[in-house]
Amino acid sequence: MTINENNSLINNVGKDLRQLRKENNLTIDQLASLSQVSGITISNIENGKSNPTLNSLWKLSEALNVPLTKVLGFSTPNTTISKFSESYFINDLENGWVVQPIFQDENIEVFRVCLKANSSNPVMNQTKGSIEIITVMKGELKLKVKEQLYFLSTYDSINFDSGTQHEYINETNEDLFLNIVVKYQNI
């Protein structure tokens, strides 16, 4: 993705966020209170002055009661092809991962995820009561759900309540590739 394409994506996320906020008749301060994302951060996202973290976007989508892909302005018609070469990625390298939205329909989202070598990503802000289904496409995943550890290898799958605290862990020297499906119950 070029710098111009990335700036365009950031601007589109900001416009979509502003539209969703206004559709919900919320001020920036009200959304900040609901999402626990600062009003300054929300304003910067809406004005295309900030490249938001995935964690902030999850919090905002939860507060707005919409799927993450709706905040990203990403939805798909009934029949689509998701081409790797034609899609965009949400880089959250501070937490060691790159997320690619693939499909969104009603209350289901599908993502491709790369968890970088020797990294982990704790998640605390997904919609309560939603189901997450993970399939390891390549590599070894250590998944912590609450205090329970699960170990998955290539083509292993697991499902759990994504609203519970969980952490994706890659303790290997190779990048880990996942397909993640999130089925929202309350959206």
Identify the pLDDT of residue 4.
43
172, 140 contact by CB (below 8 A): yes
Q: How far apart are CA 19 and CA 46, in angstroms?
A: 9
**CA–CA separation, 174 and 75 (whole Å):** 31
Q: Which CATH architecture group holds 84-183?
A: Sandwich (2.60)
Q: How confident is the model over 20-48, as pLDDT tens digits? A: 999 999 999 999 999 999 999 999 999 98
Please report the pLDDT score of residue 130 as a whole number: 87
pLDDT value of residue 57: 87
Q: Cα(first)–Cα(last) distance of the chain, in Å?
A: 31
According to the model, what pLDDT value does residue 157 have?
Answer: 97
Looking at residue 171, what is its pLDDT?
97
d(CA 3, CA 8): 9
Q: Note down pLDDT in tens along the chain; length 187 residues.
A: 444 444 566 778 888 899 999 999 999 999 999 999 999 999 999 998 888 887 888 889 889 988 777 787 665 555 566 666 666 667 776 777 888 888 777 788 888 999 999 999 888 767 777 899 999 999 999 999 999 999 999 999 999 998 888 999 999 999 999 999 998 876 5
pLDDT of residue 82: 64
* pLDDT score, position 134: 96
Tell me, yes or no, if the pTM score tops 0.85. no
CA distances to 60, 129, 149, 155, 171 from 55, rounded to whole Å, are 9, 18, 22, 27, 22
Strands 108-115 and 141-145: unpaired
> Domain segments of the chain: what residues?
3-71, 84-183
The H or E element containing residue 131 is strand 131-138
Do domains 3-71 and 84-183 share one topology? The answer is: no
pLDDT of residue 75: 57
Architecture of domain 3-71: Orthogonal Bundle (1.10)
